[in-house]
Structure 1
């Protein structure tokens, strides 16, 4: 196979499949070795396609900021359209710009702060679950319980009291397998459309979720009461001339996108946060003391989310080491140059956030968990972009951080999660970055830990 003209070197790989076999075995480990051998900008081969991997801040911003108009979302994200429709994650061009303008006010920090009570309320079942585990000595699956609480939190923030108990149970039943099948399709080189059992199950789950979302939208429009939740804000959104709100179909797509973006990614962040703190018990004790000192026995508020400097530093460092959205795929829509590399229309680029945020040129001891980096202001902001960069930076970044701070503060105030032997150390790289094994934790009362 002929290498793309003017491109840097990269691992040669299989004559037909390129680097796919190595990537399937250990995507993150393989790309770390490739970066060590070929530098911060290198080439991978995915079957018949070359992909330019970018792991340098300046080159990343050429793609995501300065040259953003010359790129569209990559092939993997385009495959999500079956589930997400034309939501912000998959939309392009003027559709994306119009929706982003309409939705942005709902995601300003001040607008989101009114939703803190919903997040705190959604954390109640998790605290009860941990309390039961502490009394019984049962081990909890951290990834499972954090996924459960973030799903409840995003549902509460989206729909407020409009989501019935049976709706929530249906969402908890249908959404996880739908996300899993979507992730499998994104990873697949071939986009099969045969009516396999998994595809039929995926479509049935999507229909069940659609029925819930469309019913809530119809009821809200019929009542005339838009509400203070995110759905209410989106229903009220209008363009600059006071018209042009989102249609029911567009609202459905944005709600499904927010379920994906606000659920799995935040759950992964919390899983790694509790895992990192378990590996650093002295640091964890300091975080717990900080939370208890600031809150006492009262529930946290949105204002409290900024009152935990050490906890926030731990969250930022967790995002640096384990960015849930670990790469950003793009495809050139016209000839363009990135890091001096000429790209033709249709060329594929992957901004590797994981490699970029572990670049030793910008982060001393790049693989070490050092929250103090975020307290002494010695970091390099250009080398930190867990929510992307530029105009297409994740619209829900403030919501995700508030959610992570409030949930983790509630947990750490009352409980200590200890993962024996440091927990799994390998990484599974799908749509999000996850541990390669079960993160099982023993739960004890924070007061007695």
Structure 2
């Protein structure tokens, strides 16, 4: 039964169940949301347990929430739950705290600062390149998702810490970060969520993982504080950040929170993007060949650098198209802090709004052949910029967007130049929408060497 839409009641399915639409949503979130969008339009509502959620996939309404009326919203329930893991980093902070941190950190993410990090990203990619060449020689399969997680973790560790992270500490990060992310996903999707301090097995495991990561980060911060110079890597830039008057730097606790946030933002999200990109390369060998030819022509046998990242238009188009089809941050939750109107509907304080980037970027209203992987649309102008928000939009647009794109371009150029990727059977067709968007299963690939 569907209630008639009105000025304060958006259209959408109604449910008599105490759980609302939680079961069907939990079983297939993206499929169900796509069904709702077809049935009710780009602005609709549905219930999960006691919470009514306004689902927005219209660009104009999204801008209302994220830009025009951003002051009337705070981060949504799911992101609030990340505070147990991330603390008060840029992803979770609000109000004056967020504005102060953003102002202090912004210079570290300007293009000149990032250009100096390119060599570290490429160096961090070499062990993966060597492993893939070994797999090609041995005829062994590789799982692309795991490979991309490892390479992006090493890349963001190099960008954050330079050479300050030992092999043993890197192993700690590789081991402990995934369970924290998975526990966060479970808590975000739970209808009834037990507090993080309750001693359940999952909470105890997450607490141990967080403590192990904190030990690693605290050691490096203390070491840098004691050094004559903080260093030129991202951690050094954070430690050196000051207000315009030269005061008001970040405390050790604040630096810790930002480091943990950057681990998430610069690691799993970029890994997911690269996994989807190379999956699409495997599905479209002609696209893969064209991208490889461009890399070879530009690099002429040398390693890529920051300038090359802007000299690879087709590779960049492939990355943009993968971001369109598979935005890692696929949904942006917000909660109204005061009465506000969105798309003509009156919302009370406390109302939950979710901006669905995935649905927006796959809408036939804005994108011809919306489910097709067509990098050429980014070269011929057949795109709708207002309906493309993979890093969000407005003042709270992801501060690391340029770093993520630099990472993705340099890693792609390094791994693509001398290798061909094939995924027998086309790989998993489903998607796993957790905190970030992942393939629905392992991406098992065959890798073969391509003569330079």
Q: TM bucket by the smaller chain?
A: over 0.9
1:412–1:446 Cα contact (<8 Å) kept: no
2:26–2:189 Cα contact (<8 Å) kept: no
Q: Distance in 2 between matches of 1:157 and 1:400?
A: 11
Q: Distance in 1 between matches of 2:405 and 2:9?
A: 38
SS of the aligned residue for 2:417 comes to helix
Q: Distance in 1 between matches of 2:110 and 2:190?
A: 36
Q: Which residue of 2 aligns with 1:167?
A: 169
SS of the aligned residue for 1:206 comes to helix
Q: Distance in 1 between matches of 2:388 and 2:451?
A: 35
Give 1:172 deviation, angstroms: 1.0
Give 1:249 deviation, angstroms: 0.3
Give 1:12 deviation, angstroms: 2.6
* In the alignment, structure 1 residue 357 sits paired with structure 2 residue 361: yes
Q: Distance in 1 between matches of 2:348 and 2:443?
A: 44
Give 1:13 deviation, angstroms: 4.0
Give 1:369 deviation, angstroms: 0.7
Aligned counterpart for 2:223 among listed residues 219, 222, 239: 219
Aligned counterpart for 1:260 among listed residues 259, 264, 272: 264
Q: Which residue of 1 aligns with 2:39?
A: 37
2:144–2:445 Cα contact (<8 Å) kept: yes
SS of the aligned residue for 2:395 comes to helix
TM-score, length-normalised on structure 1? Answer: 0.98
* In the alignment, structure 1 residue 21 sits paired with structure 2 residue 26: no
Structure 1: gaps of 5 or more residues: none
Encode CA deviations 1:366-417: one digit per residue, 9 max, x unaligned: 1111111100123111000000000000000000000000001111101111
Give 1:191 deviation, angstroms: 2.2
Q: Which residue of 2 aligns with 1:113?
A: 115
* In the alignment, structure 1 residue 229 sits paired with structure 2 residue 236: no
Q: Which residue of 1 aligns with 2:431?
A: 427
SS of the aligned residue for 1:258 comes to helix
Q: Which residue of 2 aligns with 1:67?
A: 69
Q: Distance in 2 between matches of 1:93 and 1:349?
A: 19
SS of the aligned residue for 2:403 comes to helix
Encode CA deviations 1:96-142: one digit per residue, 9 max, x unaligned: 00000000010111211100011001001110110111011111111
Q: Which residue of 1 aligns with 2:100?
A: 98
Q: How many residues align?
A: 448
Q: Distance in 2 between matches of 1:414 and 1:11?
A: 51
2:18–2:50 Cα contact (<8 Å) kept: yes
1:13 to 1:134, Cα distance in 2 relative to 1, 3 A: farther
SS of the aligned residue for 1:123 comes to helix
Structure 2: gaps of 5 or more residues: none
Give 1:225 deviation, angstroms: 1.4
2:67–2:393 Cα contact (<8 Å) kept: yes
TM-score, length-normalised on structure 2? Answer: 0.97
* Larger deviation, residues 370-379 vs 33-42: 370-379
Q: Which residue of 2 aligns with 1:85?
A: 87
Give 1:5 deviation, angstroms: 7.5
C-alpha RMSD of the superposition: 1.4
Q: Which runs of 4+ in 1 moved over 2 A?
A: 1-5, 11-14
Q: Distance in 2 between matches of 1:188 and 1:254?
A: 26
Q: Distance in 2 between matches of 1:59 and 1:323?
A: 19
Give 1:182 deviation, angstroms: 1.6
* Larger deviation, residues 13-22 vs 380-389: 13-22
Match runs of 1:32-431 below 5 Å: 32-193=34-195, 194-431=198-435
Give 1:44 deviation, angstroms: 1.5
SS of the aligned residue for 1:437 comes to coil
Q: Distance in 2 between matches of 1:378 and 1:366?
A: 11
Q: Distance in 2 between matches of 1:443 and 1:8?
A: 50
SS of the aligned residue for 1:162 comes to coil
2:56–2:355 Cα contact (<8 Å) kept: yes
